């Protein structure tokens, strides 16, 4: 089982107008690599925590020298006349 840091531990402040537990939940969800797939994830506090988590991960990876390349996929097209 993994232990994820809380937002306050890594220096991410929780704005006063947001629900603290929902913000923390969104932050943890982002650190776990989750995506916004449910209605509960669309709440403002959750979204803001999720965004803060993604930004924290990006900065953490950058400091570790890990480069995030754009997604590369294949597209197959056929034309019919």
* 14-36 pLDDT tens trace: 999 999 999 999 999 999 999 99
Which pLDDT tens digit goes with each residue over 32-70?
999 999 999 999 999 999 999 999 999 999 999 988 777
Per-domain residue ranges for the chain?
A: 7-64
Answer whether residue 2 shows pLDDT above 90. Answer: no
In 7-43, alpha helices (H): 20-31
**Residue with the larger pLDDT of the pair 13 and 74:** 13
Q: The pTM is what?
A: 0.80
Distance CA 64, CA 48 (A): 24
User: Which alpha helices (DSSP H) does 1-81 contain, by range?
Assistant: 20-31, 44-64
């Amino acid at each position: 089982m993994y232990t994820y840091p809380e937002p306050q531990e890594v220096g991410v402040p929780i704005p006063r107008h947001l629900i603290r537990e929902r913000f923390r939940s969104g932050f943890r969800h982002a650190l776990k690599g989750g995506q916004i797939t449910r209605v509960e994830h669309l709440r403002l506090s959750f979204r803001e925590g999720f965004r803060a988590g993604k930004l924290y991960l990006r900065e953490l990876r950058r400091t570790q020298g890990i480069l995030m390349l754009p997604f590369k996929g294949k597209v197959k097209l056929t034309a019919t006349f």
